[in-house]
């Protein structure tokens, strides 16, 4: 009897592939369980796949089957929790299972040559070893010296490290017997550090009510929306719930939207929980990611903080998931497997029967809709914690107060006042570079990208033109290429220009710019945040990187330079996005004792959106926005999938999408197949883009359609001439 091993291999395969057991293990009972990695041949390549099952027979001819080359894990490395989540994601996002499972592994575990890393044994102090009085070891000086050595070491020590400083194996054994040290696997060991302190603030009544509600439902799938204004102390509520989960022997997963926010969260949790905390995000080296992943998988890490991909980490004792800033769009992956980590968190929690907390000051409309329908519990934190008051908000009418250099007179006055009083000012402008347009004032020529339907952005230091869509770079033309007039003019404001202008207006005040150009690296960002944290008067200029989650106690004035572009955008989510952005950035003002103020420059002071936003009444805004979505039948009142395609020439794209539309149309009468239509920016990086939108009042027919017809679309000859992708629950439609 030949056993067939079903392996999910990365690649465009809708089903797992069949392999014979490896040669080296001829016994019929090959211990290859679902969740173990194997290396398998595929064409002329060798790949890492994940075993998903075994069968007695294959539908393929036995002589065509190839053998598993090597079993990489003696026991499953992905547990049933993760396998179940991966299956779900593969079906829901209509994405190959092998590709989904590859995402569940840290990069090092995806390499066929890497094998299981060698892990020497290391020694570390136990809690008793940490606290024991060295005087009690006075009669055994060698043991005392060994304990001292381990206390002074920054990391656990290998046998040979200890022998090198004259500590013999016999001493090590005695200490182990005495329970002062413990042997650990080097891969997952980290110095045992107790919490720094226990100085938790007393929860206020709202926090206590929210925390009690979460803790009371610790053993079942309950979704809580923690809807608390910025600075209301949501993090304290998470910490309280985490403490309770950990006391019950559970692990906790905390998802945060941005890499930039992980050090901050890590610091706060490390302070409270010691070295039981591990961090996982794509900015870490492959080795560090592997270590954190293994610590989490083996239960060494009790709390895992991570960005969206951390949702796929095995956590054997997982008992609570917290999604901080749940509205944030970075939880949605925008290429490959286009998943929402927030939505997967709910699925994982439902599978396991554990609670989830979704926290935000500006919850997404989907989440509010679910809370309103009674599917989530709605916990409110209506006041700022610790005595800070809400900022006041106002508009600066740019029609009455022109701002040729980006800063209207009333704003400049307010900035002056804040700085003179010894405070910090935050200037928000969601456009990096020097200026968005380069224009000839004689003939009106503008610098366009040759490969995209887009203007080139002017950059200073290094000077040049850059396309923010495809990355193309050109030098600044000394004269207009069309009419020859000298020096085309940069028009409009970017963060670099604001930095420059502010340097002139406020000489002697440091200007710190935070955007992807100035602080691309984590250390650069951290250095900037540290400088701000010192609290000396300064001006921060930045993009949305500044708006998210950061705690800047010395900022009292927040200026929003240009919000108007969000008022009239074509995308149905633009007003939601604008409201969230404004209230989040406003939330950076006055978070400590000093009261805050927010000024928004606009040409459209009468736009109805301002009225609700100035009252900081996100709930009223959301209710109106949801009403509009209901009337227009947009999510959450319908469900969408977007099929995007691109190719170097337009006709190929349209031919594919027209065939696809014909193939999809009519199969499910409830699903509207809309398009093809050109993408908002039709040409990008030299390729033409168009799309089909599938819209359905409920989810099942939409998924049935995709399940039934996607294979046909894949088989279309036209599909091989385009790049195409499917986005289920897209967050933008262009
Ligand atoms: P959020 O995450 O809701 O924006 P944070 O949890 O960061 O708010 O809290 C904002 C500030 O208030 C922090 O400095 C925090 O230490 C402080 N804080 C939170 N809860 C309390 C409390 N109960 N008493 C005093 N200070 C608190
Ligand atoms: Zn010209
Ligand atoms: Zn371009």
468-520 tens-digit pLDDT: 999 999 999 999 999 999 999 999 999 999 999 999 999 999 999 999 888 77
Within 8 A by CB and 6+ apart from 295, the residues are 188, 190, 278, 301
pLDDT-derived band of residue 99, with 50, 70 and 90 as boundaries? very high
Whether cis (ω within 30° of 0) applies to the bond prior to 182 is: no
Q: Are residues 474 and 497 in the same domain?
A: no
User: For the domain that residue 276 is a member of, what is the CATH number?
Assistant: 3.40.50.300
Q: Are residues 373 and 337 in the same domain?
A: yes
Whether cis (ω within 30° of 0) applies to the bond prior to 636 is: yes
User: For the domain that residue 97 is a member of, what is the CATH number?
Assistant: 3.40.1440.60
| Residue 110 · residue 8 · CB < 8 Å | no
- 356-360 and 318-324 strand pairing: parallel
CA 170 – CA 155 distance, rounded (Å): 21
Atom in ligand 1 nearest the alpha carbon of residue 549: 4
Q: Among 192, 223, 253, where does a domain finish?
A: 192
Atom in ligand 1 nearest the alpha carbon of residue 587: 4
Q: Return the ligand number nearest the Cα of 484.
A: 2
Q: Are residues 98 and 44 in the same domain?
A: yes
| Strand (E) or helix (H) holding 356 | strand 356-360
Residue 28: the pLDDT is 46
Q: Are residues 420 and 359 in the same domain?
A: no
Ranking 146-150, 544-548, 611-615, 637-641 by mean pLDDT, the lowest is: 544-548
Report the 10 Å Cβ neighbour count for 411.
23
Residue 182: the pLDDT is 77
| Residue 541 · residue 513 · CB < 8 Å | yes
The mean pLDDT value for 246-264 works out to 88
Residue with tokens 């995209």: 452
Whether cis (ω within 30° of 0) applies to the bond prior to 676 is: yes
pLDDT-derived band of residue 31, with 50, 70 and 90 as boundaries? low
By residue count, the chain amounts to 734
Atom in ligand 1 nearest the alpha carbon of residue 237: 6
pLDDT-derived band of residue 60, with 50, 70 and 90 as boundaries? confident
Residue 424: the pLDDT is 96
Residue 366: the pLDDT is 96
Q: Return the ligand number nearest the Cα of 200.
A: 1
- Better-predicted residue by pLDDT, 246 or 58: 246
Pocket test for ligand 1, best of 242, 361, 386 (most atoms within 8 A of CB): 386
| Residue 81 · residue 313 · CB < 8 Å | no
CA 375 – CA 371 distance, rounded (Å): 6
Q: Among 627, 652, 671, where does a domain finish?
A: 627
- 555-560 and 424-428 strand pairing: parallel
Q: Are residues 135 and 272 in the same domain?
A: no
CA 350 – CA 477 distance, rounded (Å): 58
Residue 186: the pLDDT is 65
The closest residue, in CA terms, to atom 4 on ligand 1 is 231
| Domain housing 667 | 639-728
User: For the domain that residue 668 is a member of, what is the CATH number?
Assistant: 3.30.70.600
| Residue 48 · residue 72 · CB < 8 Å | yes
Is residue 234 in contact with ligand 1, taking CB distance under 6 Å?
Answer: yes
Q: Are residues 525 and 572 in the same domain?
A: yes
Number of domains in the chain: 6
Q: Are residues 249 and 356 in the same domain?
A: yes
Is residue 235 in contact with ligand 1, taking CB distance under 6 Å?
Answer: yes
Within 8 A by CB and 6+ apart from 297, the residues are 77, 313, 314, 315, 316
The closest residue, in CA terms, to atom 26 on ligand 1 is 386
Is residue 228 in contact with ligand 1, taking CB distance under 6 Å?
Answer: yes
The mean pLDDT value for 57-65 works out to 79
Is residue 83 in contact with ligand 1, taking CB distance under 6 Å?
Answer: no
Is residue 549 in contact with ligand 1, taking CB distance under 6 Å?
Answer: no
| Residue 410 · residue 396 · CB < 8 Å | yes
Q: Are residues 484 and 533 in the same domain?
A: no
| Residue 580 · residue 363 · CB < 8 Å | no
Q: Among 110, 139, 156, where does a domain finish?
A: 110
175-206 tens-digit pLDDT: 888 888 877 776 666 655 656 666 788 999 99
407-430 tens-digit pLDDT: 999 999 999 999 999 999 999 999
Q: Is 58's pLDDT higher than 90?
A: no
**Has residue 633 been placed in a domain?**
no
Report the 10 Å Cβ neighbour count for 143.
21
The mean pLDDT value for 156-180 works out to 87
Q: Are residues 528 and 570 in the same domain?
A: yes
Is residue 391 in contact with ligand 1, taking CB distance under 6 Å?
Answer: no
Q: Return the ligand number nearest the Cα of 681.
A: 3
Q: Are residues 262 and 369 in the same domain?
A: yes
* Mean predicted lDDT score pLDDT of the chain: 91
681-712 tens-digit pLDDT: 999 999 999 999 999 999 999 999 999 999 99
Ranking 155-169, 395-409, 649-663 by mean pLDDT, the lowest is: 155-169
**Has residue 225 been placed in a domain?**
yes
198-251 tens-digit pLDDT: 678 899 999 999 999 999 999 999 999 999 998 899 999 999 999 999 989 899
**Has residue 471 been placed in a domain?**
yes
**Has residue 198 been placed in a domain?**
no
Q: Return the ligand number nearest the Cα of 442.
A: 2
Q: Are residues 126 and 242 in the same domain?
A: no
Q: Return the ligand number nearest the Cα of 454.
A: 3
Q: Are residues 416 and 558 in the same domain?
A: yes
Q: What does the angle CA 406 – CA 407 – CA 411 come to, to the nearest 5 degrees?
A: 155
Is residue 360 in contact with ligand 1, taking CB distance under 6 Å?
Answer: no
Atom in ligand 1 nearest the alpha carbon of residue 388: 12
Within 8 A by CB and 6+ apart from 623, the residues are none
Pocket test for ligand 1, best of 227, 236, 389 (most atoms within 8 A of CB): 236
Helices (H) and strands (E) in the chain, counts: 20, 31
| Residue 682 · residue 689 · CB < 8 Å | yes
CA 713 – CA 719 distance, rounded (Å): 7
Is residue 231 in contact with ligand 1, taking CB distance under 6 Å?
Answer: yes
């Amino acid at each position: 009897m030949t056993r067939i091993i079903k392996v999910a291999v990365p690649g465009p395969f809708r089903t797992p592939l069949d392999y014979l057991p490896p040669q080296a293990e001829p016994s019929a009972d090959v211990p290859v369980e679902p969740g173990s990695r194997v290396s398998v041949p595929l064409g002329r390549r060798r790949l890492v796949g994940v075993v998903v099952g075994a069968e007695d027979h294959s539908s393929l001819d036995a002589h065509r089957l190839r053998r598993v080359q090597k079993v990489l894990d003696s026991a499953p490395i992905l547990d049933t929790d993760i396998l179940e989540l991966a299956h779900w994601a593969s079906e829901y996002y209509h994405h190959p299972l092998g590709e989904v499972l590859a995402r569940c592994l840290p990069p090092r575990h995806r390499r066929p040559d890497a094998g299981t890393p060698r892990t020497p044994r290391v020694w570390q102090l136990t809690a008793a070893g940490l606290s024991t009085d060295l005087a009690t070891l006075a009669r055994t000086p060698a043991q005392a010296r060994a304990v001292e050595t381990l206390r002074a070491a920054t990391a656990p020590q290998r046998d040979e490290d200890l022998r090198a400083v004259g500590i013999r194996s016999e001493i090590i054994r005695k200490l182990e017997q005495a329970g002062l040290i413990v042997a650990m696997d080097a891969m997952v060991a980290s110095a045992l550090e107790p919490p720094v302190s226990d100085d938790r603030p007393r929860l206020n009544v709202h926090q206590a009510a929210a925390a009690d509600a979460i803790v009371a439902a610790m053993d079942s799938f309950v979704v809580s929306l923690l809807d608390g204004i910025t600075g209301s102390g949501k993090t304290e509520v998470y910490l309280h719930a985490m403490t309770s989960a950990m006391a019950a022997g559970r692990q906790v997963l905390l998802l945060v939207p941005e890499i930039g926010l992980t050090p901050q969260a890590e610091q706060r949790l490390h302070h409270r929980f010691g070295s039981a905390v591990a961090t996982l995000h794509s900015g870490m080296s492959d080795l560090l990611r592997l270590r954190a992943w293994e610590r989490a998988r083996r239960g060494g890490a009790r709390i895992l903080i991570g960005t969206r991909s951390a949702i796929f980490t095995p956590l054997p004792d997982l008992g609570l998931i917290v999604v901080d800033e749940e509205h944030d769009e970075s939880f949605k992956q925008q290429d490959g497997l286009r998943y929402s980590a927030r939505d997967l968190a709910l699925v994982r929690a439902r599978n396991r029967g554990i609670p989830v907390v979704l926290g935000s000051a500006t919850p997404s409309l989907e989440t509010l809709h679910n809370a309103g329908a009674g599917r989530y519990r709605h916990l409110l934190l209506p006041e700022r914690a610790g005595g800070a008051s809400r900022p006041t908000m106002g508009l600066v009418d740019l029609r009455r107060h022109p701002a040729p250099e980006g800063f209207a007179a009333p704003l400049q006055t307010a900035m002056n006042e804040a700085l003179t009083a010894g405070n910090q000012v935050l200037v928000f402008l969601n456009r990096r570079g020097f200026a968005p347009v380069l224009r000839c004032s004689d003939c009106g020529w503008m610098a366009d990208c040759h490969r995209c339907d887009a203007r080139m952005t002017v950059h200073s230091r290094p000077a040049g033109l850059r396309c923010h869509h495809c990355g193309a770079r050109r030098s600044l033309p000394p004269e207009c290429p069309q009419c020859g007039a000298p020096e085309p003019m940069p028009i409009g404001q970017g963060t670099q220009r604001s930095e420059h202008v502010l340097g002139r207006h406020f000489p002697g005040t440091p200007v710190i710019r935070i955007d992807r150009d100035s602080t691309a690296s984590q250390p650069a960002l951290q250095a900037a945040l540290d400088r701000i944290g010192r609290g000396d008067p300064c001006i921060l200029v930045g993009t949305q990187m500044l708006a998210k989650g950061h705690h800047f106690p010395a900022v009292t004035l927040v200026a929003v330079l240009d919000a108007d572009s969000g008022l009239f955008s074509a995308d149905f989510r633009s007003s939601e996005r604008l409201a969230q952005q404004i209230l989040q950035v406003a939330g950076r003002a006055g978070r400590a004792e000093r009261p805050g103020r927010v000024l928004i420059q606009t040409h459209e002071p009468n736009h109805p959106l301002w009225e609700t936003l100035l009252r900081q009444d996100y709930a009223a805004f959301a209710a109106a926005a949801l009403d509009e979505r209901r009337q227009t039948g947009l999510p959450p009142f319908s469900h969408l999938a977007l099929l995007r395609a691109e190719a170097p020439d337009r006709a190929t794209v349209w031919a594919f999408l027209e065939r696809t539309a014909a193939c999809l149309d009519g199969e499910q009468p409830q699903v509207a197949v809309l398009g093809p239509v050109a993408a908002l920016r039709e040409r990008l990086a030299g390729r033409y883009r168009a799309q089909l939108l599938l819209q359905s009042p409920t989810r099942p027919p939409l998924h049935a359609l995709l399940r039934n017809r996607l294979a046909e679309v894949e088989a279309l000859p036209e599909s091989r001439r385009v790049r195409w992708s499917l986005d289920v629950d897209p967050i933008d439609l262009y």
